[in-house]
């Protein structure tokens, strides 16, 4: 709250009141000081001033989406390897899309591993999810590349147990990554921060999937809002569903601006591809319920994303 | 009092063993209990328990290690001791034998002893020797055995019958019979061979090693402290000490613990027990301590703990493991340890592996297995050897049948989540086999824009139907996509053109990513 207030004052003073107008030098100093303060509070991760690709938390080569547009957008040149990330269903009912996108990111992570590294992915499930969207189906996940010899699952009831298990698994370095679909009420800032620290300590990525909408503070490096997108039909049958397609919104990202993309996923090659509105039918079907994301609105959110996280800690 | 043990026989209960008094009154093992009761009205009987006998023989064998470390059991009621080089500790051989019979006598047991240069000879003397000296001088086995019946050679009844028919009743008679002519008496050659082997072994012509009891293995360590420990930190330190000691024991024996039991003895005489199971045998102290430590926190220390014991209740041989040089423990070990910690901490939530099963029914096509029982190794794939690649023109290593099946399954269109119970939906669909145009699932109407299918899955007719009275019907699966791009896996149970059947129902079975 406090800092928002300051930022607001800064803006109004810079824009509206000539009496208190700061000269360019003073303004740069003030912004520099504020950035330094944010970095000190955050204590980790890329500095707000750091150039893209200079993330301290592991090289990005281990975990990229494979889409130049998205990877270049992220500060680490890909998903930060030693960190926590969030995948959030945009609305209720988007849970399968969120799970699918998480599985796709996990598959990308397995591709990034050394060939001799056969450490599996640990998927931690809160049992509450089972009743609503069913259980994870092994044959469905196998299509993503998460075959039974690359995937371990554990189902837990208590939210505290989920968090404990995530941290323990991340620190053990015995798994290549941890995916959890958790109870979003209990995954507050503290919980995500603990997951983040465990991921850094164990140098293992963590992916937290939230099946319903979520808009709280988080210590995770990125937050992806996922909604299904109409798929592009295969060329031989215009009435059949094509590859899974998702509308992605990067709403929080430390050190980068938010963004929005529509991607589809190829099971056979384990690759994303961008769906551009003219080529696909995404735009012309016009079923984006909230319409295209306004860049200005996203920008305002990003400021909050950068600042609000560490403050509550 | 005459007393017998009885065992169920072909026609009623039969005597398995008699005491001296019963024997004196004319009873023999093998008789029917009814006959025996007719002869001896005041007969007392009890059921014969061979397992108890074996256990008691084992106890006796352990006790007999007071005389020699090399004790073997000769079921059902004999012990064989190798006393080479131990007789002088008890005086001489005669005194050793006297000591043995005397001590068994004090336990109210009648013991017969025999001492000879070979184990079979000693056994024969002890079981069949007359009231002579139980000692057979060095090299005198031949004469000592000559007068004993052929049964003393531990032969099966068929061999004994054959020998008796030939008039060969004593071992001594066998010495002079030419072996070739004796062989002719036996239809089964292996019987003759066994007889000769026994004879040679008794006479010391071939060596017969005794298989001694392995020493009792107990992987348990104890630790006691002068003053009771009041804090959990103190107990944890004690546990670390115990863990190190236990792992030393385990490592020396080449074993790994599978089930641990930590007993804490409180100062007031009560006891608290903490247990933990492992998915794979381990002898790493750090891991064992980490498993038990979280459970320790919940233990009420009461007035303090003054002793503790850590025991590996179940162990398994630890295969010699080649660990990577660069890492502390291999990936497999790290994973197993992680799985153990999760299972121990979160009761009833073991780490599991979902294994594909060869079934066309989607809900039966996979099986959840515990990490330990799955045997998953997560090792890098073996390098294709030049030999295996030779058969293939493209140089690809041959795929095993299992992995082939897996790729085939994963190539099919399967959703990422599967509902535990398919949910019935209301549909508008074209008859007979079109996909739905609209359907209502969870109270929301959804318009289908794209659909593919059907994939027909016939029921497993050889299985008992889950719902009695409703035989399983053919399912046609469709993949449909609604306006929002959400994809569902739905099926129609039954066919529209089927005669004498209720019209088909539609279900959502899974949700696509």
Average pLDDT, chain B: 82
All residues of chain B having their beta carbon less than 8 Å from the beta carbon of residue A173 are 334
Interface test with B, best of A127, A133, A138, A175 (most B CBs within 10 A): A138
Instruction: State residue B328's pLDDT score.
Output: 45
Task: Look at residue A305 in the predicted model and tell me its pLDDT.
Answer: 37
Q: Given an 8 Å threshold on Cβ–Cβ distance, is A228 in contact with B366? A: no
| Dihedral sign, Cα of residue B12, residue B17, residue B23, residue B28 | positive
Evaluate whether ipTM surpasses 0.95: no
Give the per-residue pLDDT at A22.
67
Contact B486 A115 (CB under 8 A): no
Instruction: Give me the half-sphere count of Cα atoms (radius 13 Å) on the Cβ side of residue B309.
Output: 11
Minimum distance, in Å, between the CA of residue B415 and any CA atom of chain A: 5
Residues of B in contact with A136 (CB under 8 A): 354, 416-418
Nearest-by-Cβ selection for B416 from A96, A147, A239 = A96
pLDDT at B240: 93
**What pLDDT is attached to residue A289?**
36
Give chain B positions within 8 Å (CB) of A149: 376, 378
How many A-B residue pairs are in contact by the CB < 8 A criterion?
205
- What pLDDT sits at residue A293? 41
pLDDT for res B395: 37
Q: Give me the pLDDT at residue A310, please.
A: 38
CB-nearest to B331 from A96, A153, A174 is: A174
Render the burial of A127-142: b for 16+ CB within 10 Å, e for the rest.
Answer: eebeeebbbbbbbbbb
> What pLDDT is stored for residue B478 in this prediction?
93
pLDDT in tens, A156-190: 877 788 888 999 999 988 899 999 986 666 788 88
Distance CA B67, CA B63 (A): 9
Read off the pTM. Answer: 0.63
Alpha carbon B445 to its chain centroid, in Å, reads: 56
* Distance, CA of B235 to CA of B229 (rounded, Å): 7
Q: Do A157 and B337 touch (CB under 8 A)?
A: no
Of B353, B450, B487, the CB nearest to A152: B353
pLDDT (0 to 100) of residue B504: 87
DSSP H helical segments within B171-230, as ranges? 171-176, 179-185, 189-203
For residue A12, what pLDDT is reported? 45
Range B118-148 burial, b when 16+ CB lie within 10 A, else e:
bbbbbbbbbbbbeeeebbbeeeebeebbeeb
- CA atoms of B352 and B339, how far apart (whole Å): 9
* Weakly modelled stretches of chain B, pLDDT under 70: 131-132, 214-217, 319-330, 347-348, 374-411, 464-470
Burial of A294 (C-beta count, 10 Å sphere; 0-12/13-18/19+)? exposed
Q: Which of these, B257, B231, B234, lies nearest to B245 by C-alpha position?
A: B257
Tokens standing for residue A84: 């926590």
Contact between chains at B452 and A237 (C-beta distance less than 8 A): yes
Q: Give burial (CB, 10 Å; 0-12/13-18/19+) of A225.
A: buried
Mean pLDDT by groups of 10 residues along chain A of 313 residues: 46 48 81 80 54 43 84 87 91 89 93 84 76 84 88 84 89 91 76 91 92 82 92 88 92 88 90 72 37 39 38 35
Nearest to A96 among B368, B378, B513 (CB): B513
Q: Could you tell me where the beta strands, DSSP code E, fall in A176-289? A: 177-181, 206-210, 222-228, 245-253, 259-266, 271-274
């Amino acid at each position: 709250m406090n800092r928002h207030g300051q930022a607001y004052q800064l803006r109004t003073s810079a824009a509206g009141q000539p009496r208190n107008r700061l000269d360019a030098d003073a303004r740069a100093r003030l912004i520099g000081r504020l950035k330094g303060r944010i970095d000190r509070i955050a204590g980790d991760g890329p500095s707000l001033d750091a150039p893209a690709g200079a993330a301290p938390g592991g090289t990005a080569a281990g975990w990229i989406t494979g889409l130049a547009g998205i990877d270049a957008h992220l500060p680490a040149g890909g998903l930060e390897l030693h960190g926590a990330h969030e995948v959030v269903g945009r609305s209720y009912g988007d849970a399968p899309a969120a799970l699918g996108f998480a599985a796709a990111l996990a598959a990308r992570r397995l591709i990034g591993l050394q060939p001799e590294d056969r450490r599996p992915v640990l998927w931690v499930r809160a049992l509450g999810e089972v009743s609503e969207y069913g259980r994870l189906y092994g044959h469905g996940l196998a299509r993503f590349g998460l075959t039974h010899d690359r995937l371990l699952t554990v189902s837990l009831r208590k939210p505290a147990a989920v968090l404990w298990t995530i941290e323990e698994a991340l620190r053990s370095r015995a798994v290549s990554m941890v995916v959890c679909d958790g109870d979003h009420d209990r995954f507050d800032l503290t919980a995500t921060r603990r997951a983040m620290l465990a991921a850094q300590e164990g140098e293992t990525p963590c992916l937290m999937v939230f099946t319903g909408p979520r808009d709280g503070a988080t210590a995770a490096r990125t937050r992806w809002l996922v909604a299904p997108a109409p798929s592009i039909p295969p060329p031989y049958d215009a009435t059949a569903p094509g590859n899974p397609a998702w509308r992605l919104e990067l709403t929080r990202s430390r050190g980068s601006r938010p963004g929005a993309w529509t991607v589809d996923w190829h099971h056979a090659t384990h690759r994303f591809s961008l769906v551009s509105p003219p080529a696909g039918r995404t735009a012309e079907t016009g079923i984006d319920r909230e319409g295209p994301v306004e860049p200005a609105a996203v920008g305002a959110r990003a400021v909050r994303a950068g600042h609000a996280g560490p403050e509550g800690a | 009092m005459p007393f017998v043990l009885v065992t169920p026989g072909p026609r009623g209960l039969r005597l398995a063993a008699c005491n001296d008094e019963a024997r004196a009154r004319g009873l023999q093992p093998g008789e029917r209990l009814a006959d025996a009761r007719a002869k001896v009205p005041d007969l007392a009987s009890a059921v014969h328990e061979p397992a108890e006998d074996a256990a008691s023989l084992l106890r006796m064998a352990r006790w007999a290690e007071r005389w020699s470390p090399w004790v073997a059991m000769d079921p059902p009621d004999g012990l064989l001791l190798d006393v080479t080089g131990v007789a002088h500790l008890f005086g001489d051989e005669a005194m050793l034998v006297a000591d043995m019979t005397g001590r068994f006598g004090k336990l109210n047991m009648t013991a017969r002893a025999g001492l000879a240069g070979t184990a079979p000879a000693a056994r024969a003397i002890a079981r069949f020797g007359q009231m002579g000296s139980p000692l057979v001088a060095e090299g005198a086995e031949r004469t000592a055995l000559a007068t004993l019946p052929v049964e003393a050679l531990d032969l099966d009844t068929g061999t004994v019958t054959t020998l008796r028919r030939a008039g060969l009743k004593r071992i001594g008679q066998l010495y002079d019979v030419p072996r070739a002519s004796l062989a002719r008496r036996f239809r089964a050659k292996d019987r003759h061979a066994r007889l000769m082997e026994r004879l040679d072994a008794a006479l010391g012509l071939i060596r017969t090693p005794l298989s001694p009891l392995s020493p009792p293995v107990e992987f348990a360590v104890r630790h006691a402290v002068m003053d009771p420990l009041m804090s959990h930190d103190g107990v944890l330190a004690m546990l670390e000490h115990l863990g190190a000691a236990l792992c030393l024991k385990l490592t020396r024996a080449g074993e790994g613990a599978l089930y641990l039991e930590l007993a804490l003895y409180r100062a007031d005489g009560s006891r608290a027990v903490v247990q933990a199971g492992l998915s794979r045998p381990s002898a790493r102290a750090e891991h064992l301590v980490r498993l038990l430590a979280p459970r320790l926190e919940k233990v009420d220390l009461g007035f303090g703990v003054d002793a503790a014991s850590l025991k590996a209740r179940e162990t398994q041989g630890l295969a010699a493991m080649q660990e990577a040089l660069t890492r502390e423990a291999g990936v497999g070990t790290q994973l197993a340890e992680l799985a153990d910690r999760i299972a121990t901490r979160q009761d009833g939530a073991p780490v599991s592996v979902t294994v594909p099963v060869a079934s066309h029914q989607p809900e039966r096509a996979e099986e959840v297995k515990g990490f330990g029982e799955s045997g998953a190794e997560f090792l890098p794939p073996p390098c294709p050897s030049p030999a295996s690649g030779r058969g293939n023109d493209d140089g690809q290593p041959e795929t095993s049948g299992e992995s082939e099946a897996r790729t085939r399954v994963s190539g099919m269109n399967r959703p990422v989540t599967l509902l535990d119970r398919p949910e019935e939906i209301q549909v508008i669909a074209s008859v007979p086999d079109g996909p739905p145009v609209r359907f209502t699932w969870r109270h929301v109407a959804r318009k289908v824009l794209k659909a593919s299918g059907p994939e027909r899955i016939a029921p497993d007719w050889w299985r008992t139907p889950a719902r009695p009275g409703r035989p399983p019907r053919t399912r046609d699966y469709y993949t449909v996509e609604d306006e929002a791009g959400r994809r569902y896996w739905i099926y129609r149970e039954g066919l529209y053109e089927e005669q004498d059947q209720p019209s088909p129902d539609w279900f959502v079975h899974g949700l696509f990513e």
